[in-house]
Amino acid sequence: MNLQNIGCNYLEASARKRLEGILDPGSFRELCPPTEKRISPHLHYFDIPVAFDDGVVTGEGTLDGKTVAVIAQEGRFMGGAIGEVHSAKIVGLLRRCLAKKPDAVLFLFDSGGVRLQEANAGELGVAEIIRAILDVRAAGIRVFGLVGGSCGAYGGAGIITGCCDALAVSEEGRIGVSGPEVIETNMGVEVFDSRDRALVWRTFGGKNRYLQGQVRELVEDSMESFRQAAIRLLSLKPDYSLDQLEAEQKQLEERAEKFAGCRDAVDVWRKLGYPSPENIPSLTVAELKSEGGAK
Amino acid sequence: MTLQELLPKLFPAGNTVTVTDNIVSGEGRTASGAVSVIGTTNGTRLGIRELLALSRLFINVLRNHPGQPILMLVDNNGQKMALEDELLGLNQYIAHLVKLQDLARRNGHQVAALVYGNSIAGGFIAFGLCAGDTYALPDSNTSVMILPAIARVTKLPLEYLEELSKTVSVFAPGVKNFFLTGGLREVWDGNLNDCMDKSFCRDQSADTRDQLGAERGGRPEAAKIIREIMNA
Amino acid sequence: MEHLEYRMEAPDGKTVAVKPFSLVGVVASANLEVMLEIVPSEKACVFLIDTAAKGFEASWQAVVRDFMDRWKPAGLKVSINDNAASPSVVSLRLDQAYEALTGE
């Protein structure tokens, strides 16, 4: 147990604090640190202040003694949005793994997606990140995603989570493509009220994703829980193959068929076999897992 | 250009491409053999149904047509924005499809995407930007978000953004901007069959878009930073 | 955005750093990030400030002077990205950054 994690939650911690809390104490070395001042070359056109690390921390360290390469997005800078420098740091870190061959990559997501002020660079950056992640996986190195920050993983970031070997997500973590406001605009507030926090969490949150089998580890919002979940993920075998994608196709087709027409997670959970699905949001992670876990 | 106008230009020797529920599939005939065609039309939005159908087509080529080149025909208005799709993990369905595009290339298929209509935001990532190489017709529409919407979100005047986009290629829609930032390998003008044949001879083993973005000036920093971290 | 630079002489100052740099805060609304580095060959302290709030030069000068008086540092390079934080928040971050750098 990492003693400095006692009493620390994950949601409110900065990107660097999360890395310090998850990695073995003192093992973290930052690559392209903020002292390099690799700032956005484009934000000044929009009169927006830059960040010295452009909202993402990249580096390496150890987790339970195993070497890991790490990426941690800072959700409080522009909503963790992905621009040219931000995505280049991630791509560089991933491509570096092909030579350095760490045991695994940990990607701490906290991003609403592409940065509009650098939309094209962000969009291409997402595609380059996906390609680089798959190159790393094809080389037999596992890539694990952690989701539990205030921005969750939306848009391009949401898509990237689906390209990882496995995910650890807290109840507070959210994953999606279009955000709640966009769904409300498209479907009307009667169908989806983006200000209904309970609804947003039921729809996009870690519990729903976990119960549907999209997420491997559901954790509480504490630094130590995330650390322990990441250590457990390290024991997973890599598998990026046509066989695995065919199995995934079957799972995805079954899910689409089984829950066709469902508009609320409660209906999904009822069909999954939970007798009192409306109680699920109030269960702790431990209580939920003892109810039988993901079906 | 419509799909019906496009197909004979790409495949003067003939094709067996059909459209079902806006999903395009079939084969095109070329001098060096058959090309698998997978795509969408009518500016379809990509939701779970479309993503599963496109994924099935990729799996079929991977299992039954080893080594066959794949031409992705891109015309979509972005990801579907529906509660039902988000509830079931739309992000995962998109990720599944892009993994198949990537695996096809890894397994020896040349995978080229041609934008002939629209390609927008999440839809462009899902189907277009994760091919081995991405191309576009000059009059097609590649976009993350339209300028009036960017103006609204950033609270800047539209006229300012329009003026800025004449010299800065990182944010505004358009084939020229995606070319300058390195996203498009080429814009296909002239003989489309020739362009396609050439595209299937390219080395797709490395992602060189960051370098293209640096050479063409649209992304001045990315390639440098990538190299720095790799060598740190 | 406004760019401000100050060079503060510190002939009697002293700073002993326990790490190569410190970074506190985040560039969010009404907040700022402050990065401190040691410049070994230098005695003076240099402040490089990029701020989204224009026209507050006097306020920045006061905060910088107070910081120099409070800690009497030497050889610092202080880099700031500010998104319209109040002077008290700026002072707080400068103090936090100095404490992190010197292990106080």
Q: Which of residues 3-42 of B touch A (CB under 8 A)?
A: none
For the stretch A135-154, pLDDT in tens is 999 999 999 999 999 999 99
**CB contact set of B161 (below 8 Å; sequence gap of 6+):** B147, B150, B151, B154, B171, B172
Contact A99 B230 (CB under 8 A): yes
Q: Among A3-17, A147-161, A163-177, which stretch is predicted with the lowest mean pLDDT?
A: A3-17
Q: Is A253 on the interface with B (CB under 8 A)?
A: yes
What is the SS3 string spanning chain A? CCHHHCCCCCCCCCHHHHHHHHCCCCCCEEECCHHHCCCCCCHHHHCCCCCCCCCEEEEEEEECCEEEEEEEECCCCHHHCECHHHHHHHHHHHHHHHHHCCCEEEEEECECCECHHHHHHHHHHHHHHHHHHHHHHHCCCEEEEEECCCCCECCHHHHHHCCCCEEEEECCCEECCCCHHHHHHHHCCCCCCCCCHHHHHHHHEHHHHHHCCCCCEEECCCHHHHHHHHHHHCCCCCCCCHHHHHHHHHHHHHHHHHCCCCCCHHHHHHHCCCCCHHHHHHCCHHHHHHCCCCC
B133 domain-assigned: yes
Nearest to C52 among A14, A33, A49 (CB): A49
* Local confidence band at A292 (pLDDT 50, 70, 90 cut-offs): low
Whether chain C lies against chain B with 3 or more Cβ pairs closer than 8 A is no
Range of the domain at C97: 2-102
Radius of gyration of chain B (CA): 18
Chain B neighbours, 3+ Cβ pairs < 8 A: A
The answer, yes or no, to whether residue A6 has pLDDT greater than 90, is no
B189 located within any domain: yes
Q: pLDDT tens, B88-118?
A: 999 999 999 999 999 999 999 999 999 999 9
Q: Are A72 and A57 in contact (CB under 8 A)?
A: yes
Whether B122 has its CB under 8 Å from any CB of chain A: the answer is: yes
Identify the closest residue of chain C to A74 by CA–CA distance: C26
**Residues on chain B touching A265 (C-beta within 8 angstroms):** 87
Domain membership of residue B227 (yes or no) is no
The series of mean pLDDT values per 10 residues for chain B, 232 residues long, is 97 98 97 96 97 98 98 98 98 98 98 98 97 98 95 93 96 97 97 96 97 98 98 96
HSE at residue A16, side-chain half, CA atoms within 13 A, is 13
Predicted confidence (pLDDT) per residue in B147-177, tens digit? 999 999 899 999 999 999 999 999 999 999 9
Assembly ipTM: 0.98
Across the interface, whether the CB atoms of A76 and C51 are under 8 A apart is answered no
**Residue B127 belongs to a domain:** yes
Q: Domain tally for chain C?
A: 1
pLDDT digits (tens, 9 = 90+) for A95-149: 999 999 999 999 999 999 999 999 999 999 999 999 999 999 999 999 999 999 9
- The nearest alpha carbon in chain A to B218 belongs to A121
Residue A78's domain comprises: 3-175+215-238
Question: Looking at residue C67, which CATH number applies to its domain?
Answer: 3.30.230
Q: Per the structure, how many domains does chain A have? A: 1
Q: Mutation target for B interface from A120, A134, A207, A215: give the one with most B CBs within 10 A.
A: A120
* pLDDT for residue A163 is more than 80: yes
* Dist. CA B70–CA A119, nearest whole Å: 28
Residues of B in contact with A160 (CB under 8 A): 95
Contact A49 C20 (CB under 8 A): no
Yes or no, beta carbons of A49 and C50 under 8 Å apart = yes
| Percentage of the residues of chain A whose pLDDT score is greater than 90 | 94
Number of structural domains, chain B?
1
| CATH assignment at residue A99 | 3.90.226.10
| Per-residue pLDDT tens over the stretch A188-243 | 999 999 999 999 999 999 999 999 999 999 999 999 999 999 999 999 999 999 99
Q: Which two tokens stand for residue A58?
A: 């990249």
* A203 close to B83: Cβ distance less than 8 angstroms: yes
Of residues A33, A44, A76, nearest to C1 (C-beta)? A44
Name chain A contacts of B154, Cβ cutoff 8 Å.
Answer: 46, 116-117
Tell me the pLDDT band of A32, cut-offs 50, 70 and 90.
very high
* CATH number of the structural domain spanning residue B171: 3.90.226.10
Task: Tell me whether residue A7 is in a domain.
Answer: yes
Does A271 fall in a domain?
no
Residue A3 banded pLDDT, cuts 50, 70, 90: confident
Q: What percent of chain C shows pLDDT beyond 90?
A: 95
Answer for the pair C21, C37: CB distance below 8 angstroms, yes or no: yes
Looking at beta carbons, which residues of chain A come within 8 Å of C23? Answer: 16, 34, 52
